Structure 1
């Protein structure tokens, strides 16, 4: 299915142009964190932070991302996509500048929350813009291609950040984030508004799932009230919970894998960097495979394959970490398989959720994002809570996450 004719961007805007801007907006979450990861040790030293305090800057960011999406999504269903994204980028700029100027860790944590709330607008509404422009399997295909492009950011961001820290110090990291935000803000206004006028600020006659009664203000209020209805929408929630369970495993991997490979298996940090890069490449390849697969077998079958794959690789990882079979290789190979399922799960689940209701793409995208990152907060905390000095907790959490993703993908198959 092709781009909707009523919202085709002006002819002078090539598809690569639209895709590049949307991919940049989607990449805000990873850029904002991966870029400054190499600076964290120097930040802790420079600010005399207590052990574990600097890690709270990541927790604060995840909280801001989760809550921010719940605000921006329904707001955009009432007033359009571009203005909320622009306001979010301005908040992102303020938060980034605040981080760079902070003199203590508490200040950075608070500014990171502001930064995350702003970045959430770009993340959630770029997905809603894909829904505005594309439908069905074509939407899942475009989402896969955009995610394949945006995974370049976590591949290169830590290396670039390390170079900036070594040359100019950690505060320059946040100055660069301000620059990136300004460039993205300028690029945003080269795109047209994608929200259909018929869905902006007023109810479509006879639409049972419309959220907005009349006028932008009442539309926004009704959109927030519509979260209760979305929580009772089984297709929306089943798609969202596939994302949520899978991201329990993904953030458990992010939080737990450094300890497993560097401390438990005694690998050098440089080799862990290669492992991290290999996982990013596998995510990119998974998105590329899905972009081709979804037009042949459909979105639902691709999602089922992803759910089954995450469950299988999670179970294998649980067995190898429990028995220490294969050493570091026994962890790396099933972990690589698990993260590669991102390309089959995330774009299909998100596009499927967005297709499940007509007039509230922003609210659905926000709800999915909040559940997704909420799962990430739970997964990263759970792997730390269960830590026992071995790799077993990581395998256990990923096995449970994969099982949850499989169960809800099969629930969708039954109700399709």
Structure 2
């Protein structure tokens, strides 16, 4: 096992073993979730009206997608440890594409909620396999840099997707958006089939003892170090998906931002994630991933408190919420890639299963926070701001547990 908290090297080279073309493909695979969520956010009001429903039910299509991503994580990781990375990926992307076609022909909000869940179960394979491929090819600080590169590649989707979704909505309606998502799935499927190498070949799989899925998960769940790093990463996702699921209501409904400009505001916050991911790669030349996460979480606590004050008092109107949110997104860009890399590096022999658990935590926490804030929606930004502050507090508690465990381990050596 490589210790990701050791002193970082001074080199500023990309992660070894990862060609730019492979990073681009892995970025596309990681973008399945953002594309399927962000592109259709501007269409939620039109979609709910067309299906004779309301915005609260429309938000459930976001929560069901996150729940499907969480459930799908539990399937593909152990399978990829037994079968290799390519077969589960192909099956998952095909399921995603078929479900996307089903969403086009949905006749009720209930059917759309179910189809979104199925779409997510299929799409869950893509980011999971991308994480496993990185773990197969590199480790430690190199892995943290690779995850930062993925955030740079996938960061284009939150910037472009809402704007593209708004344009498609004006031209062809909300169903056309799902046709575009179908095409996205087909392109990813063909590209991966042609260009993705098998990074966990049969000789590697046969060199380790055979484990059942339950035993593999048992080994991962019994490792407290993995649990803590996965929790830390998932709390960043809780902040992100809380924002994503509430963005349309808060920006358009609460603060009256024109739907035409929603994509630009949304994309600006995505730029914060992309920019901080690039900064993270430079910071890794001088600091360990854990130190970067600790500093980012401290900043997150302050920013979330400021945003909650702005939401409660309305002292600066929409800017009291949107300005802190920009910098909160930057903190998430520093937290997620580093925490994910640290979790993946604990047990590299079970990279697929660890990736499953990390992904499950990401999306389960995101679905939980998105569902709760949706249920508490009161026409203000208060539920969103309060949930993000709670996630920041839980992140601080998790960091304290990590440091305590490391002190105890050092004392016993």
Q: Quick check: TM above 0.5?
A: yes
**Which residue in the other structure is 2:361 paired with?**
371
Closer, same or farther: CA 177–321 of 1 in aligned 2, 3 Å: closer
Aligned-partner Cα distance in 1 for 2:251–2:260? 11
Flag the 1:327–1:170 CA change in 2: closer, same or farther, 3 A. closer
Q: Does 1:193 align with 2:198?
A: yes
After the TM superposition, which residues 242-253 of structure 1 pair with which residues of structure 2 at under 5 Å, given as runs? 242-253=232-243
Asked if 1:115 corresponds to 2:115, the answer is no
Gaps of 5+ in 1: 10-14, 204-212
Aligned residue among 277, 291, 305 for 1:301:
291
What's the Cα RMSD here?
Answer: 2.3
Cα pair distance change 1:108/1:260, threshold 3 Å = closer
Partner of 2:352: 362
Is 1:345 the counterpart of 2:335? The answer is yes
User: Does structure 2 retain, via aligned residues, the 8 Å contact 1:305–1:344?
Assistant: no
Partner of 2:402: 412
Report the secondary structure of 2:29's partner residue.
Answer: helix
Tell me by how many angstroms 1:198 deviates. 4.5
2:39 to 12, 29, 35: 35
Q: Which moved more, 1:183-192 or 1:80-89?
A: 183-192
Q: In the aligned structure 2, how far is the partner of 1:352 from the partner of 1:258?
A: 33
Q: Please state whether the residue corresponding to 1:194 is helix, strand or coil.
A: coil
Measured in 2, the distance between the counterparts of 1:291 and 1:85 equals 28
Residue 148 (str. 1) matches residue 138 (str. 2): no
Q: CA deviation digits over 1:326-359, x for unaligned, max 9?
A: 2222212222121111121111111100001121
| Distance (whole Å) between structure 2 residues aligned to residue 232 and residue 168 of structure 1 | 50
Aligned to 2:4: none
Give the 5 Å matches for 1:172-183. Answer: 172-183=176-187
Distance 2:234 2:375 in 1: 19
Superposed, 1:264-343 pairs within 5 Å as 264-343=254-333
Residues 34 and 158 in structure 1, CA contact (< 8 A), matched pair in contact too: yes
Which residue does 2:168 correspond to in 1?
164
| CA distance 1:399–1:39, shift in 2 (3 Å) | closer
TM-score by length of 2: 0.88
User: For the residues of structure 1 that align with 2:130 and 2:215, how far apart are their CA atoms?
Assistant: 22
Contact 1:84 1:121 (C-alpha < 8 Å) held by counterparts: yes
1:105-133 CA distance string (max 9 Å, x none): 33322222221111000011111111111
CA contact (8 A) 1:60 1:113 kept: yes
SS state of the match for residue 297, structure 1? coil
Give the corresponding residue for 1:210. none
Report the Cα distance in structure 2 between the residues aligned to 1:4 and 1:342, rounded to whole angstroms.
21
Whole-Å Cα distance in 1 between the matches of residues 252 and 163 of structure 2?
Answer: 18
Runs of 4+ in 1 over 6 A off after TM superposition: 1-5
Mapping 1:214-229, distance limit 5 Å: 214=210, 219=211, 222-229=212-219
Higher deviation after alignment, 33-42 or 304-313? 33-42
Where 2:21 maps in the other structure, the secondary structure is helix
**Aligned partners of 1:3 and 1:134 also within 8 Å:** no
Shift of 1:86: 0.6
Match of 1:25 among 7, 22, 29: 29
Change (3 A) 1:56 1:382: closer
Q: What is the rounded CA distance, in whole Å, between the counterparts of 1:105 and 1:399 in structure 2?
A: 31
Q: Is the CA contact 2:59–2:374 (under 8 Å) kept in the aligned structure 1? A: no
TM normalised by structure 1 equals 0.88
Q: Distance in 2 between matches of 1:54 and 1:308?
A: 34
CA–CA distance in structure 2, aligned partners of residues 46 and 258 of structure 1: 17
Counterpart of 1:128 in structure 2 is 132
C-alpha spacing 1:70/1:284, structure 2 compared with 1 (3 Å)? same
Provide closer, same or farther for how the CA distance between residues 291 and 196 of structure 1 changes in structure 2, counting only shifts above 3 A: farther
Residues 23, 147 of structure 1: 8 Å contact kept: yes
> 2 CA distance for matches of 1:21 and 1:373?
22
SS at match of 2:245: helix
8 Å Cα contact 1:240/1:350 also seen in 2: yes
- In 2, the alpha carbon distance for the partners of 1:247 and 1:129 equals 21
Please name the residue that 2:188 is paired with.
184
Q: In structure 1, what is the equivalent of residue 388 of structure 2? A: 398
Residues 232-241 or 45-54, more deviating: 45-54
- Give, in whole Å, the separation in 2 of the partners of 1:170 and 1:276: 18
